[in-house]
Amino acid sequence: MAFTLPALPYTTAALAAKGMCQETLELHHGKHHQAYVTALNGFVEKDAALQGKSLDEIVKLAHGNAAMAPVFNNAGQHWNHILFWQNMSATGGGIPGKLEAKLVADFGSVQAFKDAFKTAATTQFGSGWAWLVMGADGKLKCTKTPNGSNPLATGEGKALLGCDVWEHSYYLDFRNRRPDYVQNWLDNLANYEAISI
């Protein structure tokens, strides 16, 4: 069973008023994410060891295996983008009370959470991702991963929010201003309502 590009949970124009334009979503979803899916299917087709495995299984199997780096990069990016589309909303930015209480308990304040997330995102040198994860200790924390890696692969916890900081995610809307993209993402795009803790 081949992997497929999931439909966006909104139209490509839906986030424009929130700082992510239609062209960004058309290219990012229709070209970049599609390319990861197509490449991953190509690897699975040629390798019996990958056939019948779930996406999570392939990500974990390929992680840290140099010979499987191309498989990991594409499987990881497919996994990351599935979450990323769900992590945004045209009505994003509002933090429900239960999550707010947990953020205050674990970071000290909502502002401190956003600062930690933004620091993770802006200190990721080159391409990668910033994450809000629930650690094994039950505490929320912010982390970052390079390229196509993610918290499932690194074992850092359950990913609750993932923000793509590859330039293709923000260059049309924010040019080189990654800090502004991440701040806007946290304030206006992030779909905190969909997080279950």
The minimum distance between CB 131 and Mn ion, in angstroms, equals 14
The minimum distance between CB 138 and Mn ion, in angstroms, equals 30
| C-beta of 73 vs 106, nearer to Mn ion | 73
User: Which residue's CB atom is positioned nearest to Mn ion?
Assistant: 164
| C-beta of 117 vs 166, nearer to Mn ion | 166
The minimum distance between CB 78 and Mn ion, in angstroms, equals 11
156 touches Mn ion (CB under 5 A): no
Using H for helix, E for strand and C for coil, what is the string for the chain? CCCCCCCCCCCCCCCHHHCCCHHHHHHHHHHHHHHHHHHHHHHHHHCHHHCCCCHHHHHHHHCCCHHHHHHHHHHHHHHHHHHHHHCECCCCCCCCHHHHHHHHHHHCCHHHHHHHHHHHHHHCCCCEEEEEEECCCCCEEEEEEECCCCHHHHCCCEEEEEEECCHHHCHHHHCCCHHHHHHHHHHHHECHHHCCC
Q: Return the range that interacts with Mn ion (CB under 5 A); candidates 36-44, 58-66, 67-75, 156-164.
A: 156-164
Q: Return the range that interacts with Mn ion (CB under 5 A); candidates 8-16, 160-168, 176-184, 185-193.
A: 160-168
| Interaction mask 161-190, Mn ion, x per CB under 5 A | ---x-x------------------------
The minimum distance between CB 5 and Mn ion, in angstroms, equals 13
What is the distance between the alpha carbons of residues 50 and 43, in angstroms, rounded to a whole number?
8
Q: How many residues bind Mn ion (CB under 5 A)?
A: 2
Residues lying near Mn ion in the complex (CB under 5 A) are found at 164, 166
